[in-house]
């Protein structure tokens, strides 16, 4: 509940699904895992540490359960990738590309760096985490819940 939180809004390409959220740091992480690459057609850039996510047009969204503990939400009509969420972890991240105010975002981290294919690399200075490091963090988070 910091006073530095800002409200961000976004929508899918066709506008059927819209959302608002509050973010303290506007921190974006990229995921290089093979599921994210296949799902997004590139790299998933996700805004993490959000709260007060409010979605309108949820009925226009499809939800694909991509693993035992997480699902991926996208617009049924235009296919825009919108959310990755895990009920189990109590964690939702928002696809950064769907956010309107792109200038608010800071690219700070990359995960599953050991799964990154060789054909691209970002020059941004980011914190980098391997798959094992990410899974250890999730395991820790689960215990905190």
Restricting to residues 63-82, name those near Zn ion by CB under 5 A.
75, 77-78
Binding to Zn ion by residue 12, rule CB under 5 A? Answer: yes
In the numeric block, which tokens belong to residue 69?
Answer: 């503990």
Restricting to residues 78-117, name those near Zn ion by CB under 5 A.
78
Residues 6+ apart with CB under 8 A from 58: 17
Q: Are 72 and 25 in contact (CB under 8 A)?
A: no
**Helix or strand run (H / E) with residue 64:** strand 61-67
Among 21, 28, 30, 31, the residue binding Zn ion under the rule CB under 5 A is: 31
Binding to Zn ion by residue 36, rule CB under 5 A? Answer: yes
The binding site for Zn ion (CB under 5 A) comprises: 12, 14, 16, 31, 33, 36, 75, 77-78
């Amino acid at each position: 509940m910091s006073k530095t939180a800002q409200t961000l809004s976004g929508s899918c390409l066709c506008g059927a699904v819209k959302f608002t959220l509050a973010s303290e740091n506007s921190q974006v992480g990229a995921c290089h895992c093979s599921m994210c690459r296949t799902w997004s057609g590139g790299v998933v850039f996700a805004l993490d540490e959000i709260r007060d996510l409010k979605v309108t047009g949820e009925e226009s969204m499809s939800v694909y359960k991509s693993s035992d503990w997480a699902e991926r939400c996208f617009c049924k009509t235009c296919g825009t990738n919108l959310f990755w969420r895990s009920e189990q972890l109590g964690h939702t991240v928002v696809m950064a590309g769907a956010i309107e105010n792109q200038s608010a975002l800071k690219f700070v981290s990359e995960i599953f760096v050991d799964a990154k294919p060789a054909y691209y690399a970002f020059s941004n200075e980011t914190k980098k985490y391997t798959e094992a490091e990410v899974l250890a963090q999730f395991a820790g988070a689960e215990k905190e819940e």
